[in-house]
Amino acid sequence: MTTTYKVGYLVGSLSSVSINRRLALALERLAPARNLELVEIPIAPLPFYSADYDADYPTEAREFKSALESVDAVLLVTPEYNRSVPGVLKNALDFASRPWGQNSFAGKPSAVIGTSIGPIGTAVAQQHLRSILSFLASPEMSQPEAYIQTTDGLISPDGEVTSERTAEFLGSWLEAFHTHIAKSLAPVS
């Protein structure tokens, strides 16, 4: 019997027409067949991180950390801004890792995916995220990588993937993520 894992996902864009939100919705639609339950953990309500908050975290940040701690794994769906991680996503990761000694990512399996209209997808932003996740002690899925080039109509606003080839790739990527989560959470003997 295969375990179903609850995966919290963060979308690194606040745009109402974000192609990465479309990708996240597509993954959410494809996930149940791979024994994954994807739920969004919103990052928009977070204020800008400051160490001044460490003594008394704002309600939004406490709720965010609680949501992260309630899932088995985390998926980061990111655009690439100026060859790096969007500020809003980096801000969320900073809140998740603080205050010192209360890192919500420590030991939490993770994966990174993203889409762009460019031919290399979000490759550079994903590399930056992997570096951050390593520092946060999150066992991250390194293979297969997924750099999705979006074209008009590839993913509908409600997350339907119109290309069978892309849907198959995303499905196999989700299966690899399930395997990664299972291995990461397996008891050490």
Q: How many helices (DSSP H) and strands (DSSP E) are in the chain?
A: 5, 5
Measured between alpha carbons, how far is 129 from 93 in angstroms, rounded to an integer? 10
The torsion defined by the Cα of 15, 25, 72 and 182, in degrees rounded to 10, comes to -130
Task: Give the residue from 25, 1, 4, 16 showing the smallest Cα distance to 154.
Answer: 25
Running along the chain, 189 residues long, what does each successive block of 10 average in pLDDT? 93 96 98 97 97 96 98 97 96 96 97 94 95 97 95 96 98 98 91
DSSP state of 1: -
Measured between alpha carbons, how far is 42 from 179 in angstroms, rounded to an integer? 25
**pTM higher than 0.85 for the full model?**
yes
Task: Give the residue from 60, 73, 65, 154 showing the smallest Cα distance to 101.
Answer: 65
5-185 has CATH 3.40.50.360 classification: yes
Residue entry with tokens 């198959």: 168
Provide the pLDDT for residue 119.
Answer: 87
CB 90 within 8 Å of CB 132: yes
